[in-house]
């Protein structure tokens, strides 16, 4: 069986050496030495100044909204994982959807200003499949209208744009370190910001708002993560370069084998390099997509309609909103298997089956 994704696991001895230290110290959570070390190592690897290791990517988004004290409406994308929108609603704000670009599949920056009202407080945009948004255009719009910017970089680990880390953009950027991501800590996530005062506030929020042994700074939650998760993050970070290299090679192999497929790949940002987080294709028709999904399923090959359906129509707690590009794309997009242990021979098999369905 070929899965649509599979977590990378380091050699057991890499992980075990960290576990030995945990057993000796008996410090299991509450930002122990491994969690602190992971924060420092991630900052060094990504080339950023400030980073907080947190429970997961969803908590990171919720903490970002809380730290920025956002109210009213937040402009966002309907083409993302549900957590992007549910975090807005969870924090008592109203998501306002803006359609996506048909080529990049990211939020269409040229349509953002038309959605701004006197109630708008921020823009929350997703770097879809790790592909950078138009961060320059979004920053200009935000400055013009005095809005805050949060980036959901759940898929964007290791991505750079315009020569610097994707996490350098926006007031706050977040990332997921869930087991399905190309780099993971089993469960986890992180928050980044260039503002040291905002970082301090986020650190208090992560720890119940506790400012000292007998004082509180503000409303907080338990956004901390454990030493066991940090251990996996540290072990996996030793292998991250080869993980990304392999995924990029698999991406190139797919591209070559599927050049005659009646489908297109999302157009990647011209000043960035694909990190190989996913391999999405957008078919000419939903009919062809469904036939290929069924054929691959019969061969025990997993795929995922990621993201389908559109968040603008799927969520029972929001009124449905028509988004022409998103509605059309979401019906025709499919993510193919992509993970470190996937072999080139398995990719060949996947591609042969897909082309066979198309050509019959």
Secondary structure (DSSP) of 285-327: -HHHHHHHHHHHHHTTB--B-TT-S-HHHH-TTS-----HHHH
Q: Tell me: the pLDDT tens digits for 95-151?
A: 999 999 999 999 999 999 999 999 999 999 999 999 999 999 999 999 999 999 999
Contact 58, 83 (CB under 8 A): yes
- What's the CA gap between 10 and 233, in Å, rounded? 10
Give the tokens for residue 204. Answer: 């208090």
- Report the top-level CATH class of 12-98+105-237: alpha beta
Q: pLDDT exceeding 70 applies to what percent of the chain?
A: 100
For residue 264, the SS3 value is strand
Q: Tell me: the pLDDT tens digits for 317-357?
A: 999 999 999 999 999 999 999 999 999 999 999 999 999 99
Binned at pLDDT 50, 70 and 90, residue 76 comes out as very high
pLDDT tops 90 at residue 218: yes
Fold for 240-359, please state it.
3.90.1150
| Peptide linkage before 307 cis (omega within 30 of 0) | yes
What is this structure's pTM?
0.97
- For the chain, the domains span 12-98+105-237, 240-359
For residue 333, the SS3 value is strand
Phi, psi of 93 (to 5 degrees): -105, 170
Q: What are the residues whose beta carbons fall under 8 Å from the beta carbon of 52, sequence distance 6 or more?
A: 39, 190, 191, 192, 199, 202, 203, 206
| Closest residue by Cα to residue 181 from 333, 286, 60, 85 | 60
Secondary structure (DSSP) of 222-245: B----HHHHHHHHHHHTTHHHHHH
């Amino acid at each position: 069986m070929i899965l649509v994704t599979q977590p990378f696991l380091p050699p057991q001895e890499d992980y075990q050496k960290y576990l030995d230290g945990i057993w000796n110290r008996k410090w299991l959570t509450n930002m122990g030495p491994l969690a602190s070390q992971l924060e420092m190592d991630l900052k060094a690897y990504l080339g950023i100044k400030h980073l907080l290791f947190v429970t997961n990517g969803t908590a990171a988004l919720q903490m970002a909204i809380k730290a920025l004290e956002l109210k009213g409406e937040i402009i966002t994308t309907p083409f993302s994982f549900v957590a992007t929108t549910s975090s807005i609603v969870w924090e008592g704000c109203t998501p306002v959807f803006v359609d996506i670009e048909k080529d990049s599949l990211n939020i269409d920056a040229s349509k953002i200003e038309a959605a701004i009202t006197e109630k708008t407080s921020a823009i929350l945009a997703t770097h879809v499949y790790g592909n950078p948004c138009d961060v320059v255009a979004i920053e200009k719009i935000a400055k013009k209208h005095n809005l805050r910017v949060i980036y959901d970089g759940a898929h964007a680990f290791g991505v750079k744009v315009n020569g610097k880390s994707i996490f350098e953009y926006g007031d706050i950027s977040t990332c997921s370190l869930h087991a399905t991501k190309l780099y993971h800590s089993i469960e986890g996530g992180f928050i980044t910001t260039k503002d040291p005062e905002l970082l301090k506030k986020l650190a208090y929020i992560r720890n119940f708002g506790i400012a000292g042994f007998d004082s509180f700074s503000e409303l907080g939650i338990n956004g901390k993560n454990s030493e066991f998760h940090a251990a996996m993050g540290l072990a996996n970070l030793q292998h991250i370069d080869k993980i990304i290299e392999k995924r990029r090679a698999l991406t190139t192999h797919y591209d070559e084998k599927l050049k005659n497929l009646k489908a297109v790949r999302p157009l990647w940002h011209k000043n960035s390099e694909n990190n190989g987080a996913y391999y999405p294709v957008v078919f000419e028709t939903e009919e062809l997509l469904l036939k290929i999904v069924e054929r691959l399923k019969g061969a025990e090959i997993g795929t995922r309609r990621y993201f389908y359906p559109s968040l603008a129509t799927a969520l029972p707690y929001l009124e449905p909103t028509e988004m022409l590009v998103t509605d059309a794309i979401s019906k025709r997009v499919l993510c193919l298997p992509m993970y470190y242990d996937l072999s080139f021979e398995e990719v060949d098999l996947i591609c042969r089956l897909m082309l066979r369905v198309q050509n019959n």
